[in-house]
Chains A and B, each alone.
Chain A
Amino acid sequence: MSESIDLTVDFAGLKAANPVFTASGTCGYCNELADFMDLSRLGGFITKSITPEARRGNPTPRIVETDSGMLNAIGLANVGVDLFIKEKLPAIAQMNTLVFVNLAGQTMEEYVAVAEKLSLRKEVAGFELNISCPNVKEGGITFGTDPAQIEQITSRVKNAVGGKVLMVKLTPSVTDITATARAAVNGGADALSLVNTFPAMVIDIETRRPILANRSGGLSGPAIKPIAIYLVHRVFTEVAGPGHIPIMGMGGIRTASDALEFLLAGATAVAVGTATFAQPDCAIRIIQGMEEHCRRKGISSIRNLIGGLQ
């Protein structure tokens, strides 16, 4: 029997069984993946974006595949916070992992409204503030590119989460991600998550039209991974710092090596998004792969790798 590897990480005061989460919008609301994995083995789970009212979202096609990635323009379709509480929270209570609810809205008041309704729910470990969705006209990315607005919305939502962990999700579509990251930290963010998708377009050369009904969408998947790693590294070295503000790294993670790259770049945890579509149990395979890597390298705790870039 080989020695057991310590995969646990401390994420803004929350103890995660391992650093692997599933990313918002790619793992449903609650137990949708339960047929394919034991959800309690995850480090954590991040729900689809939740808004105060139900949202229909964009017309179809909402997704299109591209070389080494995909574009989505779902448009924050979701059941709305009340139905979420009624229908999804009971299942979340059974999941036995850290659950973050992803918050979205069109105005600051809307974000606050969702946060307030969930702030006292013990099923919820924390919140992810989505100020980086490229697919809606109002809210989303319009907040996410302006440091002054980021600081303001972060501090307002922070006051509404009842002491729960608040993680702010950054968009990569800015010239200087350290400025937006710093604004979130100044606003009181307990953690940062990056990156959301990149605005992108795919054109059908036969019809000469964009394929997505929304015309453009957000690019995710392996194509964005090296950029995401670069951005995580910059935020880690210039803003978050070791032992200060933890980073949830994401963008194109498909294998354990991908996840380990993010940890070395400075992420404390990672989230798996698009890869789950192709391999529903992908997150579990990544956890196993990390453990094997540590064993092979004689690393006793995964925490020793965080920010370990030489």
Chain B
Amino acid sequence: MALRRLFTATVYRNCQIRPGYWRADLDLDSSGCEAFSEVQPGQFAELRVSDISLPPAQEVPANLRDLAQRNIILRRPFSFCDVHAGPKGIRIGVLYCVLGPATVRMMSLARGDQVSLIGPLGKGYTVSPEKKYALLLAGGMGAPPLMHLGEYIRARYPEVTPIAFLGARSLEHLPYDVHIDNEKGAYAAEYDRIGVESHIATDDGSIGFRGFVTQCVEQWLKEQAIQPEEAGLYSCGPEVMLAATVALADKYGIACQVSMERMMACGIGLCQSCVVATKGKGETGPYKLCCMDGPVFDGKDVVFE
């Protein structure tokens, strides 16, 4: 198995990117750098948040003030939106949505603070180099690992063209710096910066394509007359969206990988809390561990419940 470690990282920067969405950049210590030297997009880390203090009351979003008072004992799983190796070591980006006691605490992280991490964990995406297009389908907070994947493909697989399809309920729920251009339409600056074309879809049509991100991809597949063997789908987001992605992949005969999310108590295969039902011979196929066998699974193996 790939290297995984319990180590310390130092906060380089932590800032809000838009209301409710934050990004922390963490510098890994030498043990972390060693463990992360071969990290794959889609892998994750367990962050210790229990010793991070709550931000001042006035900075806690009003709807979370009640929830934020809860004590924390477990770590929280996060994937990475980018991983950069620099002269001083490896810096990872964690993009997070503030929605509960742990992520409220993370808002108070400041430069120089130390956090404990376990990682990298699980299995990430496997890039198929023979496919011309890597279609990245992100729903809501499924954003981070696909940003990492986009960059990873650009850096290592020049023959593969990644194209991002980014969906959310509405504009406010898109964790990106969204722009509109006369020619390109709506796009995310984060993808633009790494030279990856992006398309935006919102359920309510507040920006970009009106409808689900899977419908947006389907339209694109038809317009471009893509042959099934030319493309691979890489997806992360809410489970209904992943199920729709797998259905779409089936319909067009396209290979598809999905990143699943489960409540995780440990993230390292100790507790059996994070099971994902997979297809087997019988009616009830075997359960696999999201934290060890996943979070990325082959779409055709997963049973969506």
Contact = CB atoms under 8 A, between A and B. Distances in A.
A94 B5 CA distance: 21
A217 to B, nearest CB: 10
Contacts of A179: none
Contact of A62 (B5, B70, B75, B275): B275
For A62, A69, A72, the residue with the greatest tally of chain B CB atoms inside 10 Å of its CB is A62
A78 B270 CA distance: 12
B74 A278 contact: yes
Interface residues of A, number: 36
A27 B265 CA distance: 12
B48 A278 contact: yes
Contacts of B284: 56
A68 B263 CA distance: 17
Contacts of B272: 25, 48, 57, 62, 74, 77-78
Given A63-B265, A67-B71, A280-B268, A36 B273 contact: no
B263 A60 contact: yes
B74 A72 contact: no
Contact of A63 (B5, B48, B273): B273
Contact of B275 (A57, A64, A78, A279): A57
Given A61-B263, A278-B48, A28 B270 contact: yes
Given A56-B287, A277-B75, A35 B5 contact: yes
Residue of B50, B262, B271 most packed against chain A (CB within 10 A): B271
B135 interface: no
B266 interface: yes
Contacts of B264: 63
The listed residue with most A CB atoms (<10 A of its CB), out of B72, B118, B266, B286, is: B266
B48 A74 contact: no
A59 interface: yes
A99 B4 CA distance: 25
Contacts of A33: 268, 270
Given A57-B275, A60-B275, A77-B275, A69 B73 contact: yes
B6 A281 contact: yes
Interface hub of B73, B75, B268, B287 (most chain A Cβ within 10 A): B73
B73 A65 contact: yes
A36 B266 CA distance: 13
B274 interface: yes
A280 B6 contact: yes
A279 B268 CA distance: 11
Contacts of B50: 278
Contacts of A27: 270
A28 B75 contact: no
A61 B266 CA distance: 14
Q: Is the interface of A mostly helix, strand, loop or mixed?
A: loop
Interface string B74-109: 110000000000000000000000000000000000
B6 A36 contact: yes
A274 B50 CA distance: 14
A277 B118 CA distance: 11
A69 B73 CA distance: 7
Interface string A46-76: 0010000000110111111111111010100
A301 B6 CA distance: 31
A25 B265 CA distance: 12
Given A48-B272, A56-B287, A57-B287, A62 B263 contact: yes
Nearest to A222: B73
B238 interface: no
Given A56-B287, A280-B6, A280-B268, A221 B273 contact: no
Nearest to A25: B271
A32 B268 contact: yes
Nearest to A275: B73
B186 to A, nearest CB: 31
B20 interface: no
Contacts of B129: none
A77 to B, nearest CB: 5
Contacts of A64: 263
Nearest to A72: B273
A159 interface: no
A298 B265 CA distance: 38
Contacts of A280: 6, 118, 266, 268
Contacts of B266: 26, 276-277, 280
B205 interface: no
A283 B27 CA distance: 28
B211 interface: no
A77 B270 contact: no
Nearest to B35: A35
B73 A68 contact: yes
Interface of B: 4-6, 48, 50, 70-75, 118, 262-266, 268-275, 284, 286-287, 305
10 contacts: A26-B270, A48-B272, A56-B286, A60-B274, A63-B271, A68-B71, A70-B73, A77-B275, A277-B75, A278-B75
Interface of A: 25-28, 32-33, 35-36, 48, 56-57, 59-70, 72, 74, 77-78, 221-222, 274, 276-281
Q: Which 4 pairs across A and B sit closest by C-beta, in order of nearness?
A: A63-B273, A277-B266, A62-B273, A63-B265
